[in-house]
């Protein structure tokens, strides 16, 4: 896979990432990462809260591809937010991942309901993120699950603006407003849960488009995201599905069908709303 986006600081990000959420630590995550890299993925996404950084790191060590040819993301968990705690959490992640740097480090959630003043906590966390970035131990920094009203106060205090916002985007939650805001401020938008936790397979429109384009339903969804200029994170532990999910660079979805997919927004998001999260 040789298709890339370029971040505001010039760092290249492979257009499709391999997501590891809910992949257990140990041999399962080790093998999944090795299989994903063998299939062609060069962008691996994990997080401290996933509990699989150790296995992901081992998989990367054993995959046979040079570390500098891979793009690795991890995230600081909500309970570790804060200036000193973020720096400690980052070092712990590096140790588990068995690497001396990550390509992207993200604040996992704005943690609206976890702290009395989540805005101040986000700002403290971001100050630590900026120091990590300046040290070279993170090639890029950003956020996850931040809406414009979470981003605005963070950026007012920032000396380095977020380069990425990773949010839930799929046919049920096209996230037009969040995407527009991020682009206005120079951020790449990454799309997690693109398959709507499996619900895409029950949607009649996607079944029809699968037949029309002679592609799998996941390929239709991933192509829809890429044509919108988004960076999807796809997950599977089955090698042939990993390969299939990368085979989306040789066809185009017609504009009219792109709009029809967006009309599925009535289905709504499948994950937690950032302002309602209690963790």
Q: Is 133 considered catalytic here?
A: no
Locate 61 and state its tokens: 């060590």
Alpha-carbon gap, residue 180 to 248, rounded angstroms: 24
Q: What is the DSSP string of 51-77?
A: T-HHHHHHHHHHSSS-GGGSEEEEEE-
Alpha-carbon gap, residue 241 to 247, rounded angstroms: 10
Locate 143 and state its tokens: 């956020």
Out of 4, 5, 41, 50, which one is annotated catalytic?
50
Return all residues near 160 (Cβ < 8 A) that are at least 6 apart. 130, 133, 134, 141
Positive or negative torsion for Cα 206, 209, 215, 221: negative
Q: What are the residue numbers of the active site?
A: 50
């Amino acid at each position: 896979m040789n298709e890339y986006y370029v971040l505001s600081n010039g760092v290249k990000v492979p257009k499709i990432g391999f997501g590891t959420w809910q992949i257990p630590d140990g041999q399962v995550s080790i093998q999944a990462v090795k299989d994903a890299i063998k299939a062609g993925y060069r962008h691996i996404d994990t997080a401290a809260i996933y509990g699989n950084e150790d296995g992901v790191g081992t998989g990367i060590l054993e995959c046979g591809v040079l570390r500098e040819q891979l793009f690795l993301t991890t995230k600081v968990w909500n309970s570790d937010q804060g200036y000193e705690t973020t720096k400690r959490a980052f070092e712990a992640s590096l140790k588990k991942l068995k690497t001396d740097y990550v390509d992207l480090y993200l604040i996992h959630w704005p943690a609206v309901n976890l702290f009395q003043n989540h805005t101040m906590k986000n700002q403290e966390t971001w100050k630590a993120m900026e120091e990590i970035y300046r040290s070279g131990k993170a090639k890029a920094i950003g956020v996850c699950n931040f809406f414009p009203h979470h981003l605005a106060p963070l950026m007012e205090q920032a000396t380095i603006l977020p380069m990425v916002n990773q949010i839930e985007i799929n046919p049920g939650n096209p996230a037009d407003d969040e995407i527009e805001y991020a682009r206005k401020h120079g951020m790449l938008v990454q799309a997690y849960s693109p398959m709507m936790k499996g619900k895409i397979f029950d949607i009649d429109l996607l079944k029809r488009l699968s037949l029309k384009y002679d592609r799998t339903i996941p390929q239709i969804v991933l192509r829809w995201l890429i044509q919108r200029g988004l960076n999807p994170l796809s997950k599977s532990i089955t090698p042939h599905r990993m390969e299939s999910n990368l085979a989306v660079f040789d066809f185009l979805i017609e504009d009219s069908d792109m709009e029809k997919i967006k009309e599925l927004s009535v289905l709504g998001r499948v994950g937690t709303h950032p302002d309602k999260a209690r963790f």
